[in-house]
């Protein structure tokens, strides 16, 4: 998947998704993975009710997906990583 095809896939997901953000996120993750050459992409979604982040999508290795999908991260944990 070259970068242009990735962008087109995002557009298709937006049109066909019927408002499903997961389909769009999956297309974005795959496009980023293809464009960067990364082995995996992880997307976390902010959960305002708990003020944390849940891992909702992983593109790449199945073992990593099984380990991380559904896990949560706090703002403090992100702060440690981003410093």
- Are 12 and 19 a contacting pair, CB within 8 Å? no
Question: How far is residue 25's CA from residue 4's CA, in Å, rounded to a whole number?
Answer: 17
Residue-wise pLDDT for 7-55, tens only, equals 777 777 777 766 678 888 888 888 888 888 888 899 999 999 999 999 9
Q: What is the pTM of this model?
A: 0.74
Q: What pLDDT is recorded for position 50?
A: 95
pLDDT at 77 over 60: yes
Residue-wise pLDDT for 48-68, tens only, equals 999 999 999 998 889 989 999
**What count of other Cβ atoms lies within 10 Å of the Cβ of residue 53?**
18
pLDDT at 78 over 60: yes
């Amino acid at each position: 998947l070259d970068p242009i095809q990735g962008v087109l896939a995002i557009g298709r997901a937006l049109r066909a998704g019927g408002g499903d953000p997961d389909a769009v996120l999956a297309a974005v993750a795959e496009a980023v993975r293809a464009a960067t050459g990364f082995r995996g992409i992880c997307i976390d979604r902010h959960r305002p009710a708990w003020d944390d982040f849940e891992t909702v999508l992983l593109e790449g290795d199945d073992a990593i997906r099984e380990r991380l999908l559904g896990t949560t991260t706090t703002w403090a944990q992100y702060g440690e990583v981003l410093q």
